[in-house]
Amino acid sequence: MIIVTGGAGFIGRNLIRRLNKIQRTDILVVDNLRNGKKYKNLVGLHISDYIDKHCFIKRLLNNSNYLKNIEVIFHEGACSNTYEWNGRYLMNNNYQYSKSLLNYSVENSIPFIYASSASVYGKNIYSSNTFDNNENPLNIYGYSKFLFDQYVRSVLTKVSSQVCGLRYFNVYGPYENHKGAMASIIFNIYQKIIHRKIPVLFIGSRDFKRDFIYIDDVVNINIWMWVNKISGIFDCGTGVSESFTLLADIVLKFLNYDSIQYVPMPYKIRQHYQTFTKANISYLRNIGYDFSFIKLSEGIHRYLNWLIHNN
């Protein structure tokens, strides 16, 4: 059995689709469908069961015989809202829950692959070393991810089973529409245009650069880590930074639209905004991951074609 937490979410959904393509359907989806619209992400997938995330963790921790023959846990479930400031909620979701699931995995020698975040770096523009003192999260979301990474580091040298953290950079692609403001700028520009509204970027977007990675590459890395039994914490990005303006230009050109509005960045966002991110992929290369990444223009074209045919 394969467990995917956050299976109805953006990355979880795409991961399950890939698992289905390699003939794996014995998949338990763990999620929270309080946002009922997320059910659409499960349509078309082949899974063996679904369980609410709160019921799952209680049963798992209170009954050692609840599940048997777990091959791997892909822990994609968490609060992904970087604007969330309810610290108790974030720490329960992103830290305590993850810690409980990790401890269970280690005690039962179950491979554990989880979603971390590039937000742990804050305004340190380049992660020169995933294990150095380069982390400086700018908000409680980033801190919750950072603290769990720190906990993982404390157990990595003491366990024999696989524990692997992937620090996702700006992921984009199909099935992210339920994320609202947290969806990629590509999706949000597309939505503005089809609803006959002028797309918006922040003033300074020509200088704001991020590492944008297509969802298929993220899924590839997750599967590769599992198959190759890799442990550690790794940046999950392309190693290339592109500006928001360039990204917007690609979208506008593809959709034959030529208008965009630049607005000031709100102060409350400005305080906690990463103006530059770039993954250090040398660690991926050093462990043998030698696949090329989908270039930004190609990824955007793929995604827009998908949006047009699945709107």
Q: Is 123 a catalytic residue?
A: no
Whether 38 has a binding-site annotation, put simply, is yes
Known binding residue 171? Answer is yes
The one catalytic residue in 126, 179, 283, 289 is 179
Given the residues 95, 121, 141, 143, the one annotated as active site: 141
User: Does residue 204 have a known ligand-binding role?
Assistant: yes
Place of tokens 């810690």: 99
279 labelled ligand-binding:
no
267 labelled as ligand-binding? no
The reply, when asked if residue 288 is annotated as ligand binding, is: no
Q: Is 93 annotated as ligand-binding?
A: yes
Residue of 256, 265, 254 whose CA lies nearest to 200: 265
Helix (H, G, I), strand (E, B) or coil at 193: helix
Residue 70 assigned ligand-binding role: no
**Beta strands 72-75; 261-263: pairing state:** unpaired
- Ligand-binding site membership of 183 (annotated): no
Q: Which DSSP string corresponds to 52-114?
A: EHHHHHHHHHH-TTS-----EEEE--S---TT---HHHHIIIIIIHHHHHHHHHHHTT--EEE
Nearest-10 Cα torsion for 34, 89, 10, 150: -150
In the residue annotation, 303 being an active-site residue is answered as no
Question: Which residue carries 């199909």 as its tokens?
Answer: 174
Give the residue ranges of the annotated binding site: 10-11, 31-32, 38, 53, 76-80, 93, 145, 170-171, 179, 181, 202-205, 210, 273
Which residues does the annotation mark as catalytic?
A: 141, 179
Give the residue ranges of the annotated binding site for NADP(+): 10-11, 31-32, 38, 53, 76-80, 93, 145, 171, 179
Give the residue ranges of the annotated binding site for substrate: 170, 181, 202-205, 210, 273
